Structure 1
Amino acid sequence: MKLLIDSADIKSIKHLIEYYQIEGVTTNPTILTMETANYWEQLRQIRSIIGQDKMFFVQTLAVNSTEIIEEALKIISELDENVHIKVPVIDEGYKALKELNRLGIKTLATAIFTAQQALMAAKCGANFVAPYVNRIDNVSGDGINVVSEIVKLSEMHQLSTEVLAASFKNVNQVHQCSLVGAHSITASPDIIEQLHSHPSSAISVKQFSKDWEARFGSVRI
């Protein structure tokens, strides 16, 4: 399962890239409004930090297919051709996904709330589909089950589209997504930190050091 950072915070991205195995970064308009830098400057900084070999997702703002495609082409021209373009699954988005696929532009269908939306986006050529796990739960749905159904549909219909689960409020949701076969997950920096840690691990390390120092007088070998 690939692990991506859902943030535009430069400090957090630098830290997570340095310490953990991270495959890329996802952004959206809301995330980018939280930063003080210019839109393009922020995106270029992120690309500079993660390098060309990691996946980078940038979302369009338009709600008209023609304008979505125009924005996608501008994003690629301003950044690079390896950027994945995020397109919401509205009617105009599906239309844009078909054309972007024809143009050979990599895409992610975002704001997905049902497995059928994901399947339709995959049929339109989306490389990734992003079900919103916690937001689905918030509207009386079952986010994990939706992810599971998308994975099953992908396998059943032999689709190359990958499931990139998004929108998490806790580690257990990420864990459950990994159990049902999500190909990738994108999460906020705090969730990613929590995926790698447990209080008992730190307690164990302190006890090891305490026992060693009591016996040998040093905590270095």
Structure 2
Amino acid sequence: MKIFIDTADLDEIKEACSWGVVDGATTNPSLIKRAVDKRGGSVTMESYIREILETVPGPVSLEVIATDAEGMIEQARLLYRKFSPYGEVVVKIPVNPSLDESGRQDFDGLKAIRTLKSEGIPTNATLIMTPEQALLAAKAGASYASPFAGRVDDYIRKRMGMRAGVDFQKGDYFDHRLVKALVRMKLRSLIGKADSISEVYSSKDVREILSTTQDNGIYSGVDLVAKILRIYRNYGYKTQVIAASIRNARQVREVAEVGVDIATLPFKVIKEMVRHPKTLEGMRLFTEDVVPSYKRLFE
């Protein structure tokens, strides 16, 4: 599995790249705003992005800001033309750029991806929340597809009645296996009280339990990633899956277990991955146990 760093903070990028574990980077307008604000707004954007590309040893995703197909295509061409001399540019295109419920622009992202594919400009289909969106992105020719695992977890927790910032924090792990186990226990209880399977199947209580603990058959962000991978492998799509919106180290492990191509990680999550209290304890013990004769070998 490749690791991308999900940030536009040049200091974080440089430090993470020095660790030898970073294969690429992903940015978006929110991350760029955060990086600019950190520097007091005094950033020459073109030179700043150029330095990111020159630092990262692999693909760097830069996002368009238009929401119509024509605008996204023109912006993608500009980004690619302006920055590809300095590194491996990938253009992020929203899989569905609509800003309202009208549906008029629902397919503009896919149109842009198809056109850019024909021009040899690599794309990263972003804001993917369903396997269906990922399937369409692959068919349109996206080089990468980015399912947002953490945001899907948040969405399911909110459907369950949990409140962000109160019942869970952004970095908290979503224990989807526990939720499934609790659902099974509740269903067994309801089945035991029913006269028939059809009564359970049509029960409003059952429907409510099932609908509020999933998103149309998706039980977690990791489950979303796994289902996309299965579809791609079923049909031989070459689009690489980037697990995005990763919130904690356990999530990284789980997307690695299901075989994701790439995980794009915030700086703090990469740091979290290397830590364990027993590792720290072991280092302290080993250091204390060094005998003088062994220490002299290094002098």
The verdict on a shared fold, with TM-score over 0.5 as the criterion, is yes
Q: Which aligned pairs between 1:134-153 and structure 2 lie closer than 5 A?
A: 134-140=150-156, 141=215, 142-153=220-231
2:22 corresponds to: 22
Give the counterpart of 1:70 among 68, 74, 79.
74
Tell me, what secondary structure is at the counterpart of 1:147?
helix
Length-normalised TM-score, structure 2:
0.70
Unaligned segments of structure 1, at least 5 residues = none
Q: Deviations over 1:93-133 (max 9, x none)?
A: 11101101111110110000001100000000001100000
1:122 corresponds to: 138
Residue 42, structure 1, aligned to residue 120, structure 2: no
2:275 corresponds to: 197
Are the aligned partners of 1:212 and 1:219 in contact in 2 as well (CA < 8 Å)?
no
State, as a whole percentage, how many aligned pairs show the same letter. 29
Q: In 1, Cα distance between the equivalents of 2:253 and 2:23?
A: 17
Q: In 1, Cα distance between the equivalents of 2:297 and 2:53?
A: 39
Length-normalised TM-score, structure 1:
0.94
* CA RMSD across the alignment: 1.6
Give the 4+ runs in structure 1 shifted more than 3 A: 215-221
Give the counterpart of 1:111 among 111, 117, 127.
127
Q: Deviations over 1:78-106 (max 9, x none)?
A: 11163111000112111101101111110
Q: Deviations over 1:40-88 (max 9, x none)?
A: 222111012125xx11111111001001011001101211163111000
Q: Deviations over 1:150-199 (max 9, x none)?
A: 00000001110111010011111111111111110001001011122223
- Give the drift of 1:219: 8.1
Q: In 1, Cα distance between the equivalents of 2:47 and 2:35?
A: 11
Q: Deviations over 1:2-22 (max 9, x none)?
A: 000000111111111111321
Q: In 1, Cα distance between the equivalents of 2:136 and 2:296?
A: 58
Q: In 2, Cα distance between the equivalents of 1:73 and 1:39?
A: 17
1:168 corresponds to: 246
Q: In 2, Cα distance between the equivalents of 1:120 and 1:86?
A: 15
User: Size of the alignment, in residue pairs?
Assistant: 218
Tell me, what secondary structure is at the counterpart of 1:148?
helix
Q: In 2, Cα distance between the equivalents of 1:99 and 1:138?
A: 33
Q: In 1, Cα distance between the equivalents of 2:257 and 2:277?
A: 23
Tell me, what secondary structure is at the counterpart of 1:79?
helix
